[in-house]
Amino acid sequence: MARRDLPPLTGLRAFEAFARLGQMTLAADELCVTHGAISRQIRSLERATGLTLTQGPRHRLRLTEAGARLAATLSASLDSIERTFLDLRGAADRELRLSCVGTFAMRWLIPRLPAFHAAHPELKVTVTESYAPVDFSRQPFDAAIRLTEQPPTGGVSALAFLDNFHGPVLSPALAAQAGGGLGGLSRLPRLDTSPRLQAWAEWQAHSGQMLDEPPQHQQFEHVFYMLAAAAAGLGVGVSPWIYVAGDVAAGRLAAPLGFIRTPAKFYFLAPEAAPKPAVEAFRDWLTAEAAEAPEPPAAA
């Protein structure tokens, strides 16, 4: 592709502002430069083009024929660029790019998104799975959801919108076979997840109940794999309540010991400075949805 043969863009911008506003001083104010800077940029543009673009006394400059022709082309081109830019910026303002814990997205958020889109059909939500620390200055996200005891600070707005409860879950058939209670669960294979190998230790610390060493451990890469294994009768796992509320209500999983509150909460995180309208709308909707979430069965 041939190289473009264009005059200096700073000179074009200065000349267009002068031609549109009619005065060097007004053009200087708009571009936040001095009167002399506008004059020098226009002179530089004239030297680059070999054309005389303005004429008359210094304080009553007017456009030459060549200047008027160039000004008309510049104004039309910059108007087109401005309209495209505003359209693109408007589309970006209507999109929410959300970084979210994967199982929360699958088990709680995505099933509820149709209600958000029904209330805000003009907005688009793009969900990306991530467990990494949140850094809006380096990551291409408008907001994030994390389960944590210590939300980030320093330019980040953190809203705790949902309490976290966790407890042991297993298939109803395996629960009946084990006979229920702490002793029965201790005799079952114990299901773990790679990212949360400490989940059982945390549940024991929060509940004050101690399990005997199980006959075996089975480890899974994700929480939703572990929950599928629990529903299939492979053993007993520990899960946040909101991940299994639907399964417990439908009878796919049993929770014989109930669920206990943890110090961690689900936080909605967003930059403190000038959040997009889509972020504010989503935050308000998320808070309302969380307030309607069912309470877990109390810990036994």
Top CATH class, 97-158+265-291 = alpha beta
Return the SS3 of 27.
Answer: helix
Superfamily of domain 165-263: Periplasmic binding protein-like II (3.40.190.10)
Res 263: pLDDT: 94
Which region holds residue 71: left if phi is over 0, alpha if psi is between -120 and 50, else beta?
alpha
Res 79: pLDDT: 73
Top CATH class, 9-92 = mainly alpha
Res 17: pLDDT: 87
Averaged pLDDT, groups of 10, the chain, 300 residues long: 78 86 86 87 86 82 87 82 65 80 92 93 91 86 93 90 96 88 87 89 91 88 93 95 94 94 95 84 95 86
Token duo for residue 50: 């070999």
Token duo for residue 122: 């003009």
Token duo for residue 163: 């309490």
Return the SS3 of 143.
Answer: strand
Evaluate whether 198 touches 205 at the Cβ level (below 8 Å).
no
Res 78: pLDDT: 81
Q: Where in the chain is the domain with CATH 3.40.190.10?
A: 97-158+265-291, 165-263
Evaluate whether 124 touches 276 at the Cβ level (below 8 Å).
no
Q: Is the pTM of this model over 0.75?
A: no
Token duo for residue 232: 């299939």
Q: Which residue type sits at 60?
A: R
